[in-house]
Amino acid sequence: MTVDTTSTAVQGLKYATRHLIHCPTSWEHYLLDAPSSGEENFVLAGSVPTGHPLFNDGPGHFHDAQSVTEEVREVGEFVGHRYFGVPRERPGLFYRFALALTDLRAWRVADADPPRMTTHLTARPDHVISGVPRGLTFGVEVRIDDVPCCTGSAGLVFLMPALHRNHIEHSRRALRAAPELDDAPDGAGWPVDPAEIGRRAPGNVVVCEPSVSAQGRLTTWILTRGDNPALAPSADGQVSGLLLLEALRQTSILTAGRACGVDADRAVVADWDVHFRGYAQAGLPLRCVAVPGPLERDAEGRPSVPVTLTVTQHRRAVAEARTSVVQDL
């Protein structure tokens, strides 16, 4: 079974107040105030984050596109509960994300006020049983100051509480029951230089100095950073989704830099395609393996490096991703 590792509950991070606007497709449905059985549209209006401890840490060349994934994570569960009749005790877990930054110019940081960010979300119910969807699929379109600049999709599954607990427990038991699959670093890893992964604060570095094979494959260990509130594990001891995504981002940029000389200060992960495959327990070693592809050029002629990544814990797949790191001109 494909499972997410993260809760989508509001994380309480430093976002400005935003508006989530429901745009009813059916007027009658809106008046009846009944759960929807079809597609629903929403608009999330606000500005790009300005004081976020993670997203606003870095060279300041680009706005951090992870704010989009966080927004979708933030409202996805809420939308399921509020508009699709999913019982509130069922947590929403994301198992898939895909994002493509379609216009990098809009993502560049300007000197003016923080730009407005508008995210259009289309939610479609999946696997409806007795009128209640087991999941939602989201379409995502982002505009920054009215410039369309990102499209994407996300898959969210709602698990019954008992099932969710069973999955977590089963995962823990499985990790304990197969010591032969233990996979741990030889010693304490050294965090990489923040400048190499597009950050400035050492506390935001979540990947260790990697080893590189002859074929260019890069292996690193993920730091689970219990000391960083933005990246802290969930209450049930799971590694947060944000930490995993940040680890994928940092590893992608580190790989592109080491393999192709991409400048981390001007680099951005322009394409994301991430699948969460299993749970990741906080406190246990997490390995991330990255394989860079050949250096390419994007449509605007910028250097672009595709990277394939796998995150494992005790040799069990936690996440798989394909990214594309682009260096701005």
Gap between the Cα atoms of 135 and 153, Å rounded? 13
- Shortest gap between Cβ of 95 and other proteins (angstroms)? 21
Binding range to other proteins, per CB under 8 A, among 12-20, 60-68, 149-157, 289-297: 12-20
- Decide whether 51 or 202 has the Cβ nearer to other proteins: 51
Smallest separation, CB 12 to other proteins (Å): 3
For position 328 contacting other proteins by CB under 8 A, the verdict is no
In a 10 Å sphere around its CB, with 0-12 CB exposed, 13-18 middle and 19+ buried, how is residue 112 labelled? exposed
Closer of 115 and 306 to other proteins (Cβ): 115
Q: Is residue 20 a contact residue for other proteins (CB under 8 A)?
A: yes
The CA radius of gyration of the chain, in Å to the nearest whole number, is 20
Contacts of other proteins in 111-170 (CB under 8 A): 116, 118
Instruction: Report the C-alpha gap between 235 and 175 in whole angstroms.
Output: 19
Q: Which of 21, 110, 160, 181 binds other proteins (CB under 8 A)?
A: 21
Look up residue 43 and give its two tokens. Answer: 């608009």
| Interface with other proteins, residue 10, by CB under 8 A | yes
Closest residue by Cα to residue 313 from 249, 256, 244, 252: 244
CA distances from 180 to 69, 77, 135, 186, 318 (A): 36, 37, 35, 16, 18
Q: Check if the beta carbon of residue 107 is closer than 8 Å to that of residue 149.
A: yes
Site size toward other proteins, by CB under 8 A = 32
47 counts as binding other proteins under rule CB under 8 A = yes
Query: Any contact of residue 29 with other proteins (CB under 8 A)?
Result: no
Q: Which of 5, 6, 7, 15 binds other proteins (CB under 8 A)?
A: 15
User: Does residue 212 touch other proteins according to CB under 8 A?
Assistant: no
Comparing C-alpha atoms, which of 113, 98, 109, 107 is closest to residue 148?
107
Q: Are 324 and 307 in contact (CB under 8 A)?
A: yes
Q: Does 219 participate in binding other proteins (rule CB under 8 A)?
A: no
For the CB of residue 200, give the shortest distance to other proteins in the complex, in Å.
23
Site for other proteins in 60-99 (CB under 8 A): 74-75, 78, 88
Q: In whole angstroms, how close is the CB of 9 to other proteins at the nearest point?
A: 7
Evaluate whether 71 touches 119 at the Cβ level (below 8 Å). yes
Taking CB under 8 A as the criterion, the residue among 5, 6, 46, 307 binding other proteins is 46
DSSP class of residue 196 equals: G
- The residue among 41 and 310 lying less far from other proteins, judged by its C-beta, is 41
Question: Which residues contact residue 165 at a Cβ distance below 8 angstroms, ignoring those fewer than 6 apart?
Answer: none
The answer to whether 294 and 236 are in contact (CB under 8 A) is no
Start-to-end Cα distance in the chain: 42
Among 2, 4, 27, 285, binds other proteins (CB under 8 A): 27
Q: Is 179 in the site for other proteins (CB under 8 A)?
A: no
* Residue 32 within binding range of other proteins, rule CB under 8 A: yes
Rounded to an integer, what is the distance from CA 43 to the centroid of its chain?
A: 20
Q: Please, are residues 211 and 287 in contact by the beta-carbon 8 Å criterion?
A: no
Whole-number minimum distance, CB 27 to other proteins, in Å?
A: 4
Q: List interacting residues with other proteins (CB under 8 A).
A: 9-10, 12-24, 27-28, 30-33, 43-47, 74-75, 78, 88, 116, 118
